[in-house]
């Protein structure tokens, strides 16, 4: 799967995130998740997993700005 350049299945990602964020150091020190959740459904899934972020930061940029960073 990964060797073929495919994305990791969402169920696996959710299980990994839940397992990691329920560890003591994350509860005590906090955490940053990059790229998850991307959808409203994924955000709702965090609720089901009993993961309650204090803050969510959404960064948006136009395609032109993003492409200009790679020129």
pLDDT at 53: 82
Contacts of 43 (CB under 8 A, 6+ apart): 37, 56
Confidence of residue 33 (pLDDT cuts 50, 70, 90): confident
pTM above 0.85, yes or no: no
> Are 58 and 51 contacting, i.e. CB atoms less than 8 angstroms apart?
no
Q: What is the mean pLDDT of residues 20-31?
A: 92
In this prediction, residue 1 carries a pLDDT of 55
Where exactly are the structural domains of the chain?
Answer: 2-68
Give the Cα separation of 6 and 2 in Å (integer): 5
């Amino acid at each position: 799967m990964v060797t073929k350049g495919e994305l990791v299945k969402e169920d696996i990602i959710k299980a990994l995130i839940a397992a990691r964020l329920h560890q003591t150091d994350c509860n005590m020190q906090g955490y940053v998740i990059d790229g998850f959740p991307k959808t409203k459904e994924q955000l709702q899934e965090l609720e089901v997993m009993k993961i309650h972020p204090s803050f969510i930061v959404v960064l948006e940029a136009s395609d032109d700005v993003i492409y200009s960073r790679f020129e």
